[in-house]
Structure 1
Amino acid sequence: MAFKCMENINAFLEAAKQLGVPPQETFQTVDLWERQNLNSVVICLQSLGRKADKYGKQSIGPKEAEKNERMFSEEKLRAGQTIIGLQMGSNKGATQSGINFGNTRHM
């Protein structure tokens, strides 16, 4: 009986791979059979749930991202190199005023 169950788990894994589940998101048969690494089993099921949308079924979890390549001209790329982005922050007001090292406590 155990051999048949292991065969069923293996058949599920093969079907999941054919449906597009990446190898790093699958689990080994013993992970489920011996209940050793159930986290990897859940990851596989979630990955399979994300792929269900491609086959007209209701998906589980977030929608899988689609590739969206953008092509920029050399002129736009050069123009972008001269701009200081807002992520860099600002150095306005970056002083050490108000910092007192070694000052005695005033009680």
Structure 2
Amino acid sequence: MAFQGPAYGLSRELLLKSQAKFDIELANQALNWVQAVTNTSFNLNNNDDNNNNDNSTGIKDQFEFAEALKDGIALCNLINGLAPGSIGKVNKMKTPFKEVVNCLHSLGGLAQKKGYQGPVIGIKTSDENKREFDEETLKKGRAMIGLQSGSNSGASQAKMTPYGASRQIIPG
């Protein structure tokens, strides 16, 4: 959070809302997965504090997560780890960008669907479930009038008072 000034008012509310939605456990899982697939490690400032050898990142907040991925190099290496040769040249220029945890989990699920056999993260994207019905079942379906076809009852504005008109009270 070195480049972040103090937040006040709406900016502070949005910052707090963003921090509340950020799941540190999912972020650590995502970074550990990226490290496992790419066989690299992130040089984070807090790794000296942890001093552990279990190859886990142990980030503390969303700003450290963004710092680890902001140049995009790790993500390009991740794509090449999942599908070799997808990115021909990885740009090493240190240009910051913003990335979210959910994208890495989605990418992990898609990689599983495509047959990637390495470390996994996220939920595997479902496969197509095409169904074949016999002719009898199809005939039964055609005979039924569903509510989607519907009727026009209730769709009429008959006997409704137009907007802005005075209400007529007729003694009964």
Report TM bin, short chain: 0.3 to 0.5
User: Structure 1 length normalisation: TM-score?
Assistant: 0.48
Greater RCO structure (CA 8 Å; 6+ sep) = 2
User: Structure 2 length normalisation: TM-score?
Assistant: 0.35
